[in-house]
Amino acid sequence: MTSVPRNEAEIEMEQFAGKLRELRQARGLTQARLAELLEVSPRVYNRWETGAAAPRLDTVVRLADILEVSLDVLVGRKDPDSDTLRIRNPQLHSLYRQIDRLSDEDQRALVVLLDSLLKRSQFQKIMAS
């Protein structure tokens, strides 16, 4: 039996489907729940994860947002571990993007402040145990 060569698009779709399944499971979501979040039927979502169909680009963007990964991670161009810093709180994320514009002196002060807050939180956890 001779194997029939597959085209690149089929191979890439299989990689996308596998990555989609892996990321969904890593977030602890069921197919049904992710389909609900995307406002598609579970059957449609299942077809994406099996590689039988491909979502539209706007849906791929929504998938990346829901799974909290970049598009590069979702399509397998980067590993999730190599993804950039992820701050889930939108206000903190917005502030984080502005930190680089601070003077060196202000950045050092911010490091001291954040370090103090983290140490206080750790101390409170220890005292609560």
**What residue has token string 């990321």?**
23
Closest by Cα among 11, 12, 97, 21 to 63: 21
End-to-end CA, the chain = 65
State pTM to two decimals: 0.57
pLDDT per residue over 73-102, tens digit each?
Answer: 888 888 766 444 566 677 887 787 788 777
